[in-house]
Amino acid sequence: MSAKNAPLFDATQLSRRAMGDESLRTELLSLFVTETERLLRQAEDAPDAITRDDRLRAISALARNVGAVRLAQTAKLLEAQFTIPEIDLAPLREAIAETLSYVRQTGA
């Protein structure tokens, strides 16, 4: 299971969401970073598979909304395994770290 071949980020998607407004773009990215970190913690601490799946779905949607293509695909792939009790979230952690590093370094 891997989304490694997917592009990391689609700046066009983010630009569409921000409607060309630079301050809105910055705000969207800030919210993306905060929410992604929060949702990851909740997925890791989820008391059951349904809660974990809900958080994975939220991460996927959030990532798609700003153009974080690889992260969205990684979360979607893990969603398909939601019934596995001890699911390996390492690919998700890696995709989040990679995406957030990119956003922080480039301002996407």
Residue 76: strand, helix, or coil? helix
What is the pTM assigned to this prediction? 0.88
Instruction: Tell me the C-alpha distance between 9 and 108, whole Å.
Output: 8
pLDDT of residue 52: 92
pLDDT of residue 2: 58
Per-residue model confidence as pLDDT tens for the chain (108 residues):
456 777 889 988 888 888 988 999 999 999 999 999 999 999 999 999 899 999 999 999 999 999 999 999 999 999 888 777 778 999 999 999 999 999 988 876
